[in-house]
Chains A and B, each alone.
Chain A
Amino acid sequence: MWHLWKFLASVRLAIFLLAALALISVIGTIIPQHQSPAFYAGRYSPSVAAFFQALDIPSMYGSWWFVAMLALLALNLIVCSLDRLPRVWQIIGADPAAMPVERIKKMPERASWPVSKASLPAVKTLLAARGFTAVNDRLFVKAQGAWSRLGAYIVHLSILIIFAGALLGQRYGFKGNLTLPEGEASDAIFLSQNSARQPLGFTLRCDSFTIAYYDNGMPKEYLSRLTILEDGKPVLSGGIAVNHPLRYKGITFYQASYQPYEDFIVEFTKNGSPQGERHAFTVPFQKQEEWPGEGVSFGVLSAEGQGQRLERLKLWLKKGEDEPRVLSLAVGEEADFGLYKVRVRQLYATGLQVAKDPGVPLVYLGCGLLIFGLYVAFFLAHRRVFALLEETEVDNNYGLLLAGTANKNRFGFAKNFAALKDEIEKKLAV
């Protein structure tokens, strides 16, 4: 049992596991992940493909053996920390004043001088000014940053917290997507993993989808206007763009893609009523549409653009027995039509990435703690400096021993120590 504990607590195991994880991770960067079985059979030979499937290579980072290695790393971290923390805790809590004199005399940084009784007060004043506390009238101590010994353990804990967050997301979250044509609504999405239907618990409607372009034709913004409905009533409306998702009840909607249709939205707005009467129709290309209320029929004759980007189109309209009119319109351009203004644009569906991940706050907490822990582990040190006065054989004379040790950055500590040494030397020379 003890052997097993020591094995699980060993840094050798940690180094082995980290190296193994690093090397094995390379596989998944060479062999594409999450492709169809046919892809692997086509790219490699069928027998190699079967071998990959047996080993879960196509989704290796989620395979039982990869997760098992991560679990072993987590166990290694836990046991290692439990094994060492008590001793570290003891060092942190130890009273520096209780340091045995023999240990002080053997510290890596040392300097000593003879001191006359007369210059004692000056030396003591200097020590006090430099932050030393007097243990008694012989021993002076300055200790700093004992708790920085916890730095490595903060880092290790942060890794465990990140693992916990990932696990939480895996268990209680989901990832999916939804393609929603403008004007339509849905109360469920489809899981990325297996395309199963996942109810949202509310309804999501896409009010509009628009693309803005730069002058050079590159896309500038994809914007979906979404409305959340509960029991048919709108409760939240908002626009989402890439990098600006919308969140409701723990579920987040991301702008991920879009799909243009060969259909058009023809919109009539009554003059003089800006947000008043509005009638919108979805019209397939070159099909006739009727608006019985006004006795109007209309349709899109032709459309032109670059690539997928529609720029202009021709719309015909006919009211009652009037002659039909043909309007050539830029996308979004308004034209007068009787009492109405008419506008045409292409119909799109927005492609949403949908995620619920209750583990994210934990993961980010872990990340913050990781950086903090690294800072503590690397930039703060436990530094202890002692000044010890000892009577010598010569009457009225003392020996002053300055000695110190640091658990990290010994070069930096040696520099500080040398500076203090110089100061004391100067004091004594006066």
Chain B
Amino acid sequence: MDTSFNSSLLLSLTTFAYLGASFLYVAFCIFHSEKVGKMATALTVAALALQTTGLGLRWRESYQMGFGHAPLTNMYESVVFFSWAIGLFYLLLAWKYRARTLGAFAAPLAFLAMAYASFAPGIGRAITPLIPALQSNWLIAHVVTCFIGYAGFAVTAALGFMYLLKEGALATDQSSRLPETEILGDLIHKTMIFGFIWLSAGIITGAIWADSAWGTYWSWDPKETWSLITWFFYAITLHARYTMSLSGGRMAWLAIIGLACVLFTYYGVNFLLSGLHSYGTI
């Protein structure tokens, strides 16, 4: 295989592109230069393009290795996809709602995810064939829906953080450049809804996968249970907002706590509650 131009090179470049974009966005927020802002967005678009190509190449490489599967089947690939979804979701939001300052919070998240995937010890980055349990289109649907949802919640939390910078606990001199709190509050609600729908779809596709592989759509496995806890958390937040008219600041905090729940569901369960995962007998 050609080693000079392959998926891992492109994905490494992606990591640095997101890092560069993060710095540019922060500079944009501090100096408020339109030019820097445009450069930041251009670099984010470039990062996303590199990442998309990298994922596509990784897909192709798996076929060249003789087994072939979508690059969505292990920890490394899912975290790269998570970062990809954050990048894409941020760009769409920034374009639709003219909220470029969000980039100062979203681009670092996309970068951190890539950096974690690329450098954390104990994460297998090799393209490996799939064991029988993972050979399922429902698995692909499950990973895609879950991680789009997680990316949505990550952006929600970034917006929550912006809200708190704008008003309340974390407000600073630079805060005046952030969007108005009503707009932030509205975006927090919208992105939370977005995440909630995708998380629901993620839980459902996971259940269908489990049913087709093991004959049980729900087994209260720690991972499943935590995804349900996360889902309850957002359901509670949405109900509380609807019926008790939660203040924007409270919603912002809940958006941040929600992301902690999401991260625990994905990482915490694997590391802190390991050994309990009841799958993988085959």
Residues of A within 8 A of B (CB): 11, 14-15, 18-19, 21-22, 25-26, 28-30, 32-33, 61, 166, 175, 214-216, 218-222, 241-245, 252, 254-258, 353-355, 357, 360, 363-364, 367, 370-371, 374-375, 378, 409, 411
In the complex, the answer to whether B220 meets A218 with C-beta atoms within 8 Å is no
Q: Which residues of A contact B236 (CB under 8 A)?
A: 15, 18-19, 22
- Counting residue pairs across A and B whose Cβ atoms lie within 8 Å, the total is 116
> How many whole Å from A205's CB to the nearest CB in chain B?
20
Interface residue from B132, B273, B276, B281 paired with A241 (Cβ < 8 Å)? B132
CB <8 Å contact, A29 and B269: yes
Chain A residues near B66 (CB-CB < 8 A): 215
Given contacts A22-B233, A32-B276, A218-B128, 19 further A-B contacts (CB under 8 A): A11-B239, A15-B239, A21-B232, A25-B228, A61-B220, A214-B67, A220-B132, A222-B132, A242-B135, A245-B212, A255-B282, A257-B281, A257-B282, A258-B282, A354-B215, A360-B211, A367-B204, A370-B200, A411-B186
Contact between B129 and A216 (Cβ–Cβ < 8 Å)? yes
Q: Are B215 and A355 in contact (CB under 8 A)?
A: yes
Question: Contacts A29-B269, A218-B131 known; A360 to B239 CB distance under 8 Å?
Answer: no
Complex-state Cα separation, A315 to B112, whole angstroms: 59
In B23-48, which residues have CB < 8 Å from any A CB? none
Q: How far is the CB of A98 from chain B (nearest CB, A)?
A: 27
Give Cα A19 to B261, complex, Å. Answer: 13
User: Chain B's nearest CB lies how many Å from the CB of A131?
Assistant: 24
Chain B residue at smallest Cβ distance from A214: B129
4 nearest interchain CB pairs? A355-B215, A242-B132, A29-B222, A22-B232
- Count of chain B residues with a beta carbon within 8 Å of a chain A beta carbon: 50
A370–B235 CA distance with the chains assembled, in angstroms? 13
Chain B binding surface, main DSSP class: helix
**Are B132 and A25 in touch, CB under 8 angstroms?**
no
Taking a contact as CB atoms under 8 Å apart, the answer to whether B220 and A28 are in contact is yes
Contact in complex: B220, A367 (CB < 8 Å): no
Q: Which residues on A sit within 8 Å (CB–CB) of B242?
A: 11
When the two chains form their complex, are residues B243 and A29 in contact, meaning their CB atoms are under 8 A apart? no
Complex contact A175–B216 (CB within 8 A): yes
Q: List, sorted by A's number, 11 A–B pairs whose CB atoms are closer than 8 Å.
A: A220-B132, A221-B132, A241-B132, A243-B136, A256-B214, A256-B281, A371-B197, A371-B200, A371-B204, A374-B197, A374-B200
Is there an interface contact between B229 and A26, defined as CB atoms closer than 8 Å? yes
| In the complex, residue of chain B having the shortest beta-carbon distance to the beta carbon of A215 | B66
CA of A370 to CA of B207, assembled, Å? 14
Task: Given A21-B232, A370-B204, decide whether A245 and B215 contact each other with a Cβ distance below 8 A.
Answer: yes
> A175 contacts which chain B residues (CB < 8 A)?
215-216
Contact indicator A11/B215 (Cβ below 8 Å): no
Q: Which of B138, B183, B218 is the most central at the interface, judged by chain A CB atoms within 10 Å of its CB?
A: B218
Chain B residues near A221: list those with CB within 8 A: 132
Interface string of B209-231 (1 = CB under 8 A from A): 10111111110101001101100
Fill in one digit per residue for B263-281: 1 if any A CB lies within 8 Å of its CB, else 0: 0000001000100100001
If A242-B135, A371-B200 touch, does A353 touch B214 (CB 8 Å cutoff)?
A: yes
Residues of B within 8 A of A375 (CB): 197
Q: Which residues of A contact B212 (CB under 8 A)?
A: 243-245
Tell me the smallest distance from the CB of A376 to a CB of chain B, in Å: 11
Whole-angstrom distance from the CB of A35 to the nearest CB of chain B? 10
Task: List residues of chain A with CB within 8 A of the CB of B281.
Answer: 256-257
In the bound complex, residues from chain A placing their C-beta under 8 Å from that of B220 are 28, 33, 61
Pairwise interchain contact A371-B201, C-beta atoms closer than 8 A: yes
Tell me the bound Cα distance from A316 to B243 in angstroms. 81
Beta-carbon contact of B204 and A243 below 8 Å: no
Given A241-B132, A374-B200, residue A29 in contact with residue B276 (CB < 8 A): yes
B240 in contact (CB, < 8 A): yes
Whether B13 sits at the interface, judged by CB under 8 Å, is no
- A370 contacts which chain B residues (CB < 8 A)? 200, 204
Return chain B residues, CB-CB under 8 Å to A364: 208
B133 located at the interface, meaning its Cβ lies under 8 Å from any Cβ of chain A in the complex: yes
Closest CB-CB distance, B96 to chain A, in whole Å?
A: 11
Task: Give CA–CA (A355, B210) in the complex, Å.
Answer: 13
Chain B residues near A166 (CB-CB < 8 A): 218
By the criterion CB–CB under 8 Å, are A242 and B233 in contact? no
Task: Quote the shortest CB–CB distance from B64 to chain A (angstroms).
Answer: 13
Q: A36: shortest Cβ distance to chain B, in Å? A: 15
Contact among B186, B214, B228 with A254 in the assembled complex (CB-CB below 8 Å): B214
Contact B225 A25 (CB under 8 A): yes
Q: How far is the CA of A14 from the CA of B276 in the complex (A)?
A: 30
- Chain A residues, Cβ within 8 Å of B135: 242-243
Among A29, A218, A353, A360, the most chain B Cβ lie within 10 Å of the Cβ of A29
Quote the shortest CB–CB distance from A93 to chain B (angstroms): 23
Q: Which residues of B contact A244 (CB under 8 A)?
A: 212
Residues of A contacting B273 with CB < 8 Å?
Answer: 29-30
> Is B76 in the interface zone, CB < 8 Å from A?
no
* A216: chain B residues within 8 A (beta carbon): 128-129
In the bound complex, residues from chain A placing their C-beta under 8 Å from that of B218 are 166
Least CB distance from B233 to A in Å reads: 6
Task: Say whether B213 contacts A29, CB under 8 Å.
Answer: no
Residues of B within 8 A of A19 (CB): 232, 236
Question: Does B239 lie within 8 Å of A14, measured CB to CB?
Answer: yes
The answer for the CA separation of A29 and B265 in the assembled complex, in Å, is: 11
Give every chain B residue within 8 A of A30 (Cβ-Cβ). 273
Residues of the A chain whose Cβ atoms lie less than 8 Å from the Cβ of B276: 29, 32
With an 8 A cutoff between CB atoms, is B196 at the interface?
yes
**B129 to chain A: closest residue by CB:** A214
C-alpha gap A400/B165 in the complex (Å): 43
B193 CB–A CB distance under 8 Å: yes
Question: What is the bound-complex CA distance between A222 and B131, given in angstroms?
Answer: 10
| B207–A22 CB distance below 8 A | no
* Residues from chain A with Cβ under 8 Å of B226 in the complex: 29
Interfacial chain B residues near A374, Cβ < 8 Å: 196-197, 200
Closest residue of chain A to B272 (Cβ to Cβ) is A30
Which B residues are CB-close (under 8 A) to A256? Answer: 214, 281-282
